[in-house]
Amino acid sequence: MKGRRYCGACYSNHWKEYNKKWHRANTERKLLNHAQSRAKEHELPFNLELEDIIIPKYCPILGLKLERGIGKVIAESPSIDKINPTLGYVKGNIRVISFRANTLKNNATLDELKKIVQDAEYLASSI
């Protein structure tokens, strides 16, 4: 008889683990492909490989548990952040954060972000 035989519970656990590994690798591959496309579109340097895409369990900025949405991007979706945007998608210049954090950082300056925080603190204290 070819192949392994599993009891129902073992079979289910086997496929759950397989799907987790496949889903993770597929997520990393998608992030890499999107980064390569954006680099080409914006004429930025690109030298990343699949091994350079390391997805943490939680967003290092907002603390959200990173997970892909089914068929769509959600706030908790992993997203590649260029640490120094002018350097492009190169080794040592990227990290994976939540889509929400990356959207907030998108094109705001540090001064603009400070003003938003000051405003939020003012509004919170006046309530």
CATH number, domain containing residue 83: 3.30.40
Asked if the structure places residue 77 within a domain, the reply is yes
Three-class SS state of 91: coil
Asked if the structure places residue 17 within a domain, the reply is yes
Asked if the structure places residue 117 within a domain, the reply is yes
Query: Tell me: the pLDDT tens digits for 1-55?
Result: 466 666 666 666 665 565 555 555 589 999 999 999 999 999 999 999 999 999 9
Q: Is residue 8 a contact partner of residue 62, using CB atoms and an 8 Å limit? A: no
C-alpha angle with apex 60: 57 to 65, nearest 5 degrees? 35
- What percent of the residues of the chain are helix, what percent strand, and what percent coil, each to the nearest 5? 50, 10, 40
- DSSP 8-state assignment for residue 77: S
Asked if the structure places residue 2 within a domain, the reply is no
**pTM (2 d.p.):** 0.73
| Domain with 115 in it | 8-125
Number of domains the chain contains: 1
